[in-house]
């Protein structure tokens, strides 16, 4: 389907059109691109578009193929989940991979954390720790801390979390207004080891090990019990099963 130059609220865009240059809409919306190489396909209301005169019809390949831009929260979660799954290809073969999550009943309230760590050899270890009364942010941060503490500092580690707050205060320089000591301790560990990477993964979006970490965090809250991770990755260390704390 060809393209035509149109104006959208004073800005020129490329819009889908017929061979005659008339806008083509579906449900009252027209596919548009801001640039031929944008890589993102947007939808604009037909009533907000005006074809620039004289209309010049451009071929379909004038714009590169693009993915639709998600508009709803659910669509954004699906896209983020796909990106998180795809990012696994970039994980070094010798890296430990962790998924962490926190939960609390009330905020603050009874809180717990869940951690799932897989070794380069495919061994899986889990932790479900009850934290007492705490906030969700404390639970999220402590889950990341437990994953880092469990894996030997000379081993590569990729930690997945669905907490934008945790990633912000740990890697983006966000100033912590609360949980200052916990943040400082975790930041020191993050900065103090090479081969550590924090990766955002969307919560409740069907990412299997993230869902398991969430389940373990909720189990800690409901059971008021804890299991801890063994020491992982140290030379000569044996990977024992997780045991109650």
DSSP 4-23: EEEEETTEEEEEEB-TTS-B
Average pLDDT over residues 70-98: 70
The residue among 31, 242, 2, 3 whose CA lies nearest residue 126 is 242
- Reported pTM: 0.65
What are the phi and psi torsion angles at 137 (to 5°)? -65, -40
Q: Please tell me whether residue 72 adopts helix, strand or coil conformation.
A: coil
What's the total number of domains in the chain? 2
Here the CATH number for the domain that contains residue 156 is: 3.30.420.10
Shared domain check, 61 and 95:
no
Domain's final residue, options 69, 89, 109: 69
In angstroms, what CA-CA distances link 237 with 108, 115, 152?
Answer: 37, 20, 10
List the 67-68 sheet strands across, edge first.
Answer: 49-51, 3-8, 11-16, 29-33, 40-45, 67-68
Shared domain check, 222 and 196:
yes
Average pLDDT over residues 122-139: 97
Shared domain check, 85 and 198:
yes
Q: Is pLDDT above 90 for 245?
A: no
Cα 10 from Cα 5, distance rounded (Å): 12
Average pLDDT over residues 157-176: 94
The residue among 85, 111, 80 whose CA lies nearest residue 216 is 111
What are the phi and psi torsion angles at 233 (to 5°)? 85, -5
Q: How confident is the model at residue 47 (pLDDT cuts 50, 70, 90)?
A: very high
Shared domain check, 64 and 124:
no
The overall average pLDDT reported for the chain is: 88
Average pLDDT over residues 203-228: 93
> For residue 38, what pLDDT is reported?
74
pLDDT digits 0-9 by tens, 25-37: 998 999 999 988 8
> What residues make up the domain containing 65?
3-69
Shared domain check, 83 and 58:
no
Nearby residues of 152 by Cβ (< 8 Å), 6 or more positions away: 231, 232, 233, 234, 235, 237
Q: Is pLDDT above 90 for 61?
A: no
Q: Which of 29-43, 56-70, 109-123 has the lowest mean pLDDT?
A: 56-70
Q: Please tell me whether residue 26 adopts helix, strand or coil conformation.
A: strand
Q: Is pLDDT above 50 for 182?
A: yes
> For residue 18, what pLDDT is reported?
93
Cα 221 from Cα 217, distance rounded (Å): 7
Average pLDDT over residues 204-220: 92
Instruction: Report, as residue numbers or ranges, the catalytic residues.
Output: 101-102, 140, 162, 204, 214
Shared domain check, 114 and 36:
no
Strand partners, 11: 8
Q: Which of 5-19, 56-70, 108-122 has the lowest mean pLDDT?
A: 56-70
Cα 162 from Cα 201, distance rounded (Å): 5
């Amino acid at each position: 389907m060809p393209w035509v130059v149109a104006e959208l609220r004073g800005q020129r865009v490329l819009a889908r059109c017929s061979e005659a240059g008339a806008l083509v809409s579906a449900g009252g919306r027209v596919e548009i691109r801001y640039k031929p190489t944008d890589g993102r396909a947007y939808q604009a209301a037909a009533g907000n578009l005006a074809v620039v005169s004289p209309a010049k019809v451009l071929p379909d390949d004038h714009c590169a193929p693009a993915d639709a831009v998600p508009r709803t929260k659910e669509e954004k979660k699906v896209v983020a989940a796909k990106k998180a799954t795809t990012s696994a290809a970039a994980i070094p073969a010798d890296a430990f991979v962790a998924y962490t999550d926190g939960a609390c009943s009330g905020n603050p309230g009874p809180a717990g954390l869940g951690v799932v760590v897989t070794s380069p050899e495919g061994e899986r270890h889990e932790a479900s720790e009850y934290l007492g009364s705490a906030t969700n942010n404390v639970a999220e941060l402590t889950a990341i801390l437990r994953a880092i503490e469990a894996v030997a500092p000379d081993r590569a580690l990729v930690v997945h979390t669905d907490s934008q707050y945790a990633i912000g205060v740990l890697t983006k320089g966000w100033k912590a207004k609360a949980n200052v000591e916990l943040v400082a301790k975790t930041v020191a560990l993050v900065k103090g080891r090479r081969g550590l990477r924090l990766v955002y993964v969307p919560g409740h979006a069907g990412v299997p090990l993230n869902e398991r970490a969430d389940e373990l965090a909720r189990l800690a809250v409901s059971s008021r019990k804890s299991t801890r991770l063994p020491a992982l990755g140290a030379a000569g260390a044996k990977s024992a099963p997780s045991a109650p704390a």
